[in-house]
Amino acid sequence: MEAEKAEPAPAPEPETAKSGGEKKKRGRPSRIDLDTIVDVARRILQEEGVAALSMRRVAKEVGTTPMALYHHVHDKDELLMLTLSGTADSTPRPELPDDPRDRLLAVSLHMHDTLARMPWVVEVLSLGDLTDKGALWMVEEIIGCGIACGLTQAQAVAAYRTIWHCVYGDLVFRQAMARRSAEPDRKRHFPGMITEADATDLPHMTALADRWLELTEAYDVSEQLGAVIDGLLGRARRP
């Protein structure tokens, strides 16, 4: 005897109320925590950069809605601040020399080397007025060393900004070169565009064109930052 074929069970009626007359909330986002939100945001920044980060993107990846995410994080800037928090502490503070000039250089190089290992942090910092509070000890040291070397407070702050611009500029350039080098079929336009025909207008660059890449690769950030610092501290000897 052939068994009867079971008919598919009808879809359940949507439940509209709990016992006691209380309405049941449907489609409620799953519960999330702030650590998960920050971890997802940091991964996006590390893998794809600031342009890829949005509240909507993070909400989708943690399995909730943008509206629910705003209960945890006020806006994208706050989310970026949360991703920065603690990054400086991931690298132990170095032993620093007592001499204020040498100490200033050591802190500046520590800043450079720490950020070189975290390219995404450099991109976030480029947005301005966002930082990891745990990294402010480096700013404090640089300003304090400048004052100890005879700079005024205003000069010490200006010196810090100049040092930061040098550090940031070098890191951005290195990142750009690393991305370009990863393109195997890329044609190098510079310095290859310089020829003997440019000798009249660009005499020094024409003479250096064949050695340009060699000299660029030999760039010593420690030596150059030291020269910048010596120039900045030289202002202390002027009235």
Residue 150's pLDDT band (cuts 50, 70, 90): very high
Tokens for 219? 């760039």
Residue 16's pLDDT band (cuts 50, 70, 90): very low
How does DSSP classify residue 17?
A: -
Residue 21 reports pLDDT greater than 60: no
Q: Identify whether the C-beta of residue 52 lies closer than 8 Å to the C-beta of residue 21.
A: no
How does DSSP classify residue 196?
A: G
Nearest to 76 by CA among 124, 134, 133: 124
Give the list of residues 6+ apart from residue 119 with CB closer than 8 angstroms, or none.
171, 175
Q: Which tens digits make up the pLDDT trace of 170-215?
A: 999 988 888 888 887 888 788 889 999 999 999 999 999 999 989 9
Q: Tokens 């005024």 label which residue?
A: 152
Tokens for 144? 């304090």
Share of the chain above pLDDT 70, in %: 86
For the residues 17-25, what does the mean pLDDT come to?
48
Q: Between vectors from CA 117 to CA 111 and to CA 118, what angle results, nearest 5°?
A: 90
Residue 20's pLDDT band (cuts 50, 70, 90): very low
How does DSSP classify residue 50?
A: G
**Rounded CA separation 83/94 (Å):** 23
Q: Which tens digits make up the pLDDT trace of 54-80?
A: 999 999 999 999 999 999 999 999 999
